[in-house]
Chain A
Amino acid sequence: MKNKLTVIAAVLIVLAVVTACPALAKETYKIGVAAPLTGGLAFLGEGIMNGIKMAQESVGDTKYKYEVIFEDNQHDPKVSVTLANKFFDVDKADAIITIGDESGPVVSPIATAKDKIHMAIAVQRYIAKGYNNFMHWTPADEQTTLLISEMKKRGVKKVAAFRSRYVGFVELFESFKKNLKGSGIELVSDQVHDATAVDFRSQIAMAKKKNPDIYLLLTLPPALEIVAKQLKEAGETKPLTSCEAFGISPEASLFEGEWFIAPAGAQGYYRDAYKARYGSEPPMATGNAIDIFELIVRAVESTNTKSKPSAKQVSDELHKIKYHHGALGIMHIDKDGVVVTKPQPQLIKDARPTPLYDENGLMISSK
């Protein structure tokens, strides 16, 4: 009896010491993720969630424990604002990850005001404004430079654009126009449409009249698919291309054989690991989410503090990263807080985006 009491007392003392001593109990670094988990873009949120869980499991031995809270923002910036406040005030999160050019800009000022880390998967550079805000997406200039280079390879002289004013595409289009100068390629028709438009027939007639060599589609589903379908119905056989859009089309078979420029996507080990675990290709933005998690962990672990590092300390470490080999390949963080990666020319083959060039750099057949 006396021995038993001694053992229980010893266990209680050890437990009391462990819980009271921060050096032995790992502190938790919390990251909130606001992503679309329902609706038409739920596949993006699902990929992000799967990717981060994968990265979380392979994080290894660390000074801190990393907890990730996923919430559905329904791809609605208003919901993202609510979630940002919930993450920071209720869950006491240290960092937030957002997706999309709508959510990023509204969460950036909240992260700045509350002195938290914000990593956005978005196109617009200004989302990264402020020392604690970062953006991880292949920059528009990188994408359009490659787009123009691929067009030149195919002898394209005249381009007709169909585009919506979705913020990400505005950035891409402005960059495309800027980089066209001196390229010998002319933008012969620029057809802008409302986000809810479904009838493009007269705009197609206008564009077709200019006899372009290729159509550049910078719009989101369902307008993307409807434009493609109505172009075919109008008897147009010229190739179609895009930056990003074909990769998110739920009806990618419409673009079979067409090449386009995709932002950097998950590759190598990360892509294989995802496929092995989930049985499918990682969706767009999954690789970005994996990288963001790894970059945050790398920065937090690099800080030399006795207690959990402040946002400023983590930001300092993030800004120092000039080389990182992650899910999207080799990357660095520039002075504005943009994680710079390289875009990839891709091809829609068997209704799926695949690399346009094989391992030997040879082009796989495209239109």
Chain B
Amino acid sequence: MDIWAQIIINSIITGAIYALIVLGFNLIYWVTKFFNIAHGVYAVVAAYTVYFMYTTKGSNVYLSIIAAILAAGLAGLLSDRFVFLPLRKRTASGMTMFVASLGIFTVLQAVVALIFTNQYRMLRKTYTAGKTFNILGGVITETHCIVIIVVFVTLAVLIILRDRTKFGRAVKAIGDDEEVAKIVGINTNKIIATVFFIGAASTGIGGILIGFDTGMMPASGMSLLLNAVTASIIGGAGNILGGLLGSFMLGFAQNASVWWISGEWQDAIAFVMLIIFLLFRPRGIFNE
């Protein structure tokens, strides 16, 4: 087996997993201009909804996945409706929104832990290895193929929504200047609420796929979020394509580093990259 083929495949898989979280994160950042820490917990909400419906209650897997995506979207929508919207009405600062999102994260994570305990859960009913494919000497599993396909489908849907729909134009307008968007008659609160729903739902898809691949615990949301924030800053916060590029760069750096240093430094690699970008290119690769 060519080790570099495997490391590149692994980097793509890791990047694709991060991208599923980053795409929704960047979409929300684009219109709200604050780092929504609660974003990581939407993935956990979705994964545990599948765990409850499919893994423990034996419901149909597709029905469970749809319900989980809607649950994550709803968690995003309710976060906006009951926390961020009232704060926006009081013209709260970005820091206030940031702290409020941390509060939502903590509450939702605690609720999930109370219901399901802090134990690690696999969404698969058994730990058996999945079907695998061989590409240029490297191995890729069926779940990872689905992850990669879902990332590009989600990306395509988000780009079509952004560029080809009235909703997308409204999102762009709010992203440029919310006050001007209001003046020209856009119902900004409704658009932002929809963005929260879509962003959280797309992150929910990521959470479900991660849950099927490696499993999930209530605290997993924070590590997902930290990698997503790093990837977002590398690519350019609020930029959909930038988020994708940042995710793959981060995935490659973490996987390739195993060649030279111990695997336990993978998280540290992410933060080294974050510091480098914050120092030398704080707006990321795509944002000028």
Contacts and interface: CB of A to CB of B under 8 A. Distances in A.
A202 B132 contact: no
A193 interface: yes
B139 A234 contact: yes
Contacts of A221: 120
Given A39-B118, A40-B119, A205 B10 contact: yes
Contacts of A174: none
B124 to A, nearest CB: 9
A196 interface: yes
Pick the most buried of A198, A205, A226, A234: most chain B CB atoms within 10 A of its CB. A205
Interface string B112-153: 000001111010001111101000001101000000000000
Interface size class of B (residues with CB under 8 A): 20 to 34
A194 B127 contact: no
Interface stretch (B33-41, B156-164, B255-263): B255-263
A60 B165 CA distance: 82
A202 B262 contact: no
Interface string A251-288: 10110000000000000000000000000000000000
Contacts of B188: none
Contact of B267 (A194, A209, A232, A251): A194
Contacts, number: 88
Interface of B: 1, 3, 6-7, 10, 13-14, 117-120, 122, 126-130, 132, 138-139, 141, 214-215, 217, 223, 255-256, 258-259, 262-264, 266-267
A197 B120 contact: no
- Chain A: interface residue count, which band? 20 to 34
B259 A206 contact: yes
Nearest to B6: A205
Interface string A194-217: 101111111101101100000000
B47 to A, nearest CB: 13
A294 interface: no
Nearest to B210: A198
28 contacts: A39-B117, A192-B262, A192-B263, A192-B264, A193-B264, A194-B266, A194-B267, A196-B223, A197-B263, A197-B264, A200-B263, A202-B6, A202-B255, A205-B3, A205-B138, A209-B1, A222-B120, A222-B122, A225-B127, A228-B127, A229-B128, A233-B129, A233-B132, A233-B139, A234-B132, A235-B132, A253-B126, A253-B127
